[in-house]
Structure 1
Amino acid sequence: MGVYQIKNTVTGKLFIGSSLDLPGKLNSNRFQLSMKSHHNKELQADWNLYGSDAFTFEVLENINPEKIAQESWRNAVAELEEKWLDTLQPYGDKGYNPPAKPLAAANNTL
């Protein structure tokens, strides 16, 4: 479990994600992209444009499940993903991730 990136080697754009099952998630992303059914439409469009050879799939950081209580795995993975999103800022021209919603706007419901 941990955090991964999908990198467009032509544009340098990144997609950052996380999973409790990294091999399965990376395989799922490859399959969805090859079937033209990935949930991230911008990533899918670039995959269609540049082809599979223009993308790399890489694990950025693993979490050792033996060092964390099982009930904390999801939180640990989410925190690690947030760290990588903060570090790499894969938004707009730099990536495929949607920008995080500001807390003030998210909590401002009338």
Structure 2
Amino acid sequence: MDKTQQAALKAAYRQQAPALGIIALQHLPSGCVLLERSRNAPGALNRHRFELALGTHRNARLQADWRRDGAAAFRLAIIDTVRPADDRAVDADAELDALLALHRAQLLEQGQALY
């Protein structure tokens, strides 16, 4: 691959929209889960990791579990995504809200504890 092809691939990568989706932070010992929707799911996961590592996470219970058990006791993942629509009439935020509600309902139905 020559430099022109590499530059074209990098430019195409930068043009891509970030993944819209649902993220989950699960405390493995307790099974407790934090669900969140995001228009930039990878960025949201990075923000959570950063805040937890700094000890400044906005969810005090989650932060306490992180302090006590460490990063190895957690699974952070993008659990579902929404494909960005070419049609501007499609409301991506409404789709994310509906998907989040669906995942929350499923977890609660299974008796899963949520942060």
User: How much is the aligned-residue C-alpha RMSD, in angstroms?
Assistant: 2.1
Per-residue CA distance 1:18-63 (angstroms, 9 max, x = gap): 1000000000000011111111110011001100110011111100
Are the structure 2 counterparts of residues 12 and 74 from structure 1 closer, same or farther at C-alpha, using a change threshold of 3 Å?
same
User: In 2, distance between residues paired with 1:93 and 1:58?
Assistant: 17
- Match 2:47 to one of 17, 20, 28: 28
Counterpart code for 2:74? F
Runs of 4+ in structure 1 deviating by more than 4 angstroms, as ranges, are none
In structure 1, the residue corresponding to 2:103 is in which secondary structure?
helix
Tell me: higher relative CO, structure 1 or 2? Use CA pairs within 8 A at least 6 residues apart.
Answer: 1
- After superposition, the Cα gap between the structure-2 partners of 1:31 and 1:68, relative to the gap in structure 1 and judged at 3 Å, is farther
Q: By how many angstroms is 1:66 displaced?
A: 2.7
SS of the counterpart of 1:65? coil
Instruction: Show the counterpart of 1:77.
Output: 96
Give ranges in structure 2 of 5+ residues lacking alignment: 1-19
Deviation at 1:67, TM superposition (A): 6.0
Letter in 2 for 1:78: D
User: Structure 1 residue 10 and structure 2 residue 29: aligned?
Assistant: yes
Q: Which consecutive residues of structure 1, in runs of 5 or more, have no partner in the other structure?
A: 97-110
Pair 67,61 (structure 1): closer, same or farther in 2 beyond 3 Å: farther
* Among 65, 70, 79, the residue aligned to 2:84: 65
How many residue pairs end up in the alignment? 95
For 2:32 and 2:41, locate their aligned partners in 1 and report how far apart those are by CA, in whole Å: 20
